[in-house]
Amino acid sequence: MPETEKKAPRVINKSGTLKMEDNVAETKQVRDIAGRKMDRRNRRDRVKADVAPKEFDDITIAVDRVSRTVAGGRRMRFKALVAVGNHKNKVGIGVAKGNDVTTAVAKATRKAKKAMVTFNMDGETICHEARTKVTGADVLIKPAAPGTGIIAGGTVRSIMGLTGVKNLISKSLGSTNKVNIAYAVIEGLRAQVPRAEWTGNEGKKPAKKAEVKEAPVEKKAPETKKGAVKPAVKKEAAKPAAKKEAIKKPATKVAKKSVAKKSTAKKEDK
């Protein structure tokens, strides 16, 4: 083939796009309008960063529209109530306002993280009963046996779902305002005192569970087959009876009388 002839470029689609070799792709650099080099960003790295586990989980309990009267009329805004927790013994709530829902939720989340409280737990329930009042809200929370679950209303259930409490009984006895109920629940959790610090239990160590000892297994004698002769059992020989020691009897009265007669006979001879 003459040197002037060149290989025709390979067309890979109808639009006429040419296939780029790997060595050319490695050296190619992307530049902006001004001719400056642009770094190639890998989208996969950004996806991995978003999937990373979060330290705290949050939930939006309520979003309300509020208004404020100004000189020119009414100004509408949004109020958000957000709870944050780590599914263990840390939880917090925050309330914030914003011109739109996204701004209000973001501000409330930041406030909730700053106002988190740490409370005491007894296994998967709370340590003791607590009744707290915040303005018009009156909330009662009680510990429950394993397997009971969370028996509570919407606001209390949302907050407890972000903690490690799995068994709880709750009752709202006052106002139905969600913000006040949320603050009352936080105060009830903050007031939890561990069992070791109860009145009368200071300095006492928790009682150890009694260990159940297994009964010794009795060994069964090996079963004999029908027709088999049982081995004879040797009987121990009877021990000879111990000889009774001869008991010496005291002198009888007859001997005493004979001695007395002899003494009287000697006197008469004299």
Residue 149 sits in a domain whose CATH number is 3.30.230.10
Q: Are 116 and 91 in contact (CB under 8 A)?
A: yes
Q: Provide Rg for the chain, Cα atoms.
A: 50
Decide if 255 is inside a domain. Answer: no
Per-residue pLDDT tens over the stretch 86-132: 999 999 999 999 999 999 999 999 999 999 999 999 999 999 999 99
Does residue 249 fall inside a structural domain? no
Does a structural domain hold residue 36?
Answer: no
pLDDT in tens, 246-268: 455 555 555 555 555 666 665 66
Which residues on adjacent β-strands are paired with residue 4? none
Q: Is residue 268 part of a domain?
A: no
User: Same domain, yes or no, for 95 and 146?
Assistant: no
pLDDT tens profile 40-63: 665 454 444 455 567 889 999 999
161 inside domain: yes
State how many domains the chain has: 2
pLDDT digits (tens, 9 = 90+) for 192-216: 999 888 877 766 666 665 565 666 6
Contacts (Cβ under 8 Å, ≥6 apart) of 164: 87, 88, 89, 121, 124
Are 114 and 140 in a shared domain? Answer: no
SS3 221: coil
Q: Are residues 134 and 114 in the same domain?
A: no
* Inside any domain, residue 114: yes
CA 85 to CA 81: how far, in whole Å? 14
* Bigger pLDDT: 169 vs 9: 169
- Predicted confidence band at 177 (pLDDT cuts at 50, 70, 90)? very high
**pLDDT exceeding 70 applies to what percent of the chain?**
60
Residues 104 and 137 in one domain: no
Are 61 and 109 members of one domain? yes
* Residues spanned by the domain of 78: 57-118
Which of 89, 118, 147 is the C-terminal boundary of a domain?
118
The per-residue pLDDT for 263 is 63
For residues 97 and 142, membership in a common domain is answered with no
- Predicted confidence at residue 32, as pLDDT, reads 74
92, 183 Cβ separation under 8 angstroms: no
Same domain, 83 and 138: no
| Claim to verify: residue 104 and residue 151 sit in the same structural domain | no
